[in-house]
Amino acid sequence: MKLWEVIKALEENSKKVFEVEGSPSHRIGFSDEGTLSWLNPYGEDNCDFSIATYDNNKYGSDNIHTDWQEVKQPVPWQEAIEAWKDGKTIYSYNPQNHNSYPKDKQILTICSEEIANFEWYIEEDKAHVE
């Protein structure tokens, strides 16, 4: 996804966050104050966003030609289960383990550990989970 597509997507949904492909520490999104900003991996505002048109940066974090990807945002487990009931694949994730629950599975079995300690994602939110 190119920068113009990222800006268009942010215009449509200001809660989204994007990162440079291959460089998760280079993220952009709207700050709490409503300005387009560089964000740290915790979603905190680092500084106002700016771009350059030169092409000599390995990751291109400030390069207009950089490829970007959406950062997957977790949802409450209840929302994930509702999405599964509506026919979507969902995922639970923590650094030690992750599970996939395909949309075509007939029975959903999850444990209390997952509910309490995992982050939940819906497949349609096209982005990655580290």
Q: Into how many domains does the chain fold?
A: 2
Per residue in 84-129, pLDDT (tens digit) is 999 899 989 888 888 888 888 777 788 899 999 999 998 864 444 4
pTM confidence score: 0.59
Q: How confident is the model over 78-88, as a mean pLDDT?
A: 91
Residues 82 and 42 in one domain: no
Q: pLDDT band at residue 76, thresholds of 50, 70 and 90? A: very high
Tally Cβ neighbours within 10 Å of residue 18. Answer: 22
Residues 7 and 60 in one domain: yes
**Domain assignment of residue 91, yes or no:** yes
Per residue in 32-72, pLDDT (tens digit) is 888 888 877 666 667 777 776 655 555 444 567 788 888 88
Strand order in the sheet with 119-122: 97-101, 90-94, 119-122
Residue 29: alpha-carbon gap to chain centroid: 11
Residues 83 and 25 in one domain: no
| In contact, 120 and 92? CB cutoff 8 Å | yes
Alpha-carbon dihedral of residues 119, 121, 127, 128, nearest 10 degrees? Answer: 40
Q: Look up the domain containing 104 and give its range.
A: 77-122
Residues 61 and 21 in one domain: yes
Residues 62 and 92 in one domain: no
**Domain assignment of residue 33, yes or no:** yes
